[in-house]
Amino acid sequence: MRYITFRRLEVVSFIHSGVYSALLICAFALDKPEPATFIFGLAHGLIWIAMSLVCIAAARARIIPFWLAVVVAVIGGLGPFAGSIGFIIADRRRHAHGPVSTTAGSGR
């Protein structure tokens, strides 16, 4: 777990959003060129599965807040941009209020 940090998860989330953007461009703007659509689709799926598992473990280790792990795992398959936005919000909260509590009812 020492290799899992908030910043590293945030960077991977933005990479995931970039891969998903490339998939959307290939699928809709470029009329589904193969094998690019397949490669970006496969990369999106694998990154989403890995991010979901790692974020759940990171929430249990109190590296990220639980709500952020839920956003990445639940919404990330359809739109990883939500996870990237979640990391921005969590980062701003960390800087404004100190570390974000991961316990329920904390009010943060």
Which segments of the chain are extended strands (E)? none
In a domain, 104, yes or no: no
In a domain, 73, yes or no: yes
Q: What angle do CA 45, 48, 51 make, to 5 degrees?
A: 150
Note the pTM of the prediction, 2 decimals.
Answer: 0.81
pLDDT in tens, the chain (108 residues): 678 999 999 999 999 999 999 999 998 888 889 899 999 999 999 999 999 999 999 999 999 999 999 999 998 878 889 999 999 999 999 888 765 555 544 444
Q: What is the count of structural domains for the chain?
A: 1
In a domain, 32, yes or no: yes
Q: Which domain holds residue 72?
A: 6-97
DSSP state of 33: -
Q: Give buried/exposed letters for 26-39 (b at 16+ CB in 10 A, else e).
A: beeeeeeeeeebee
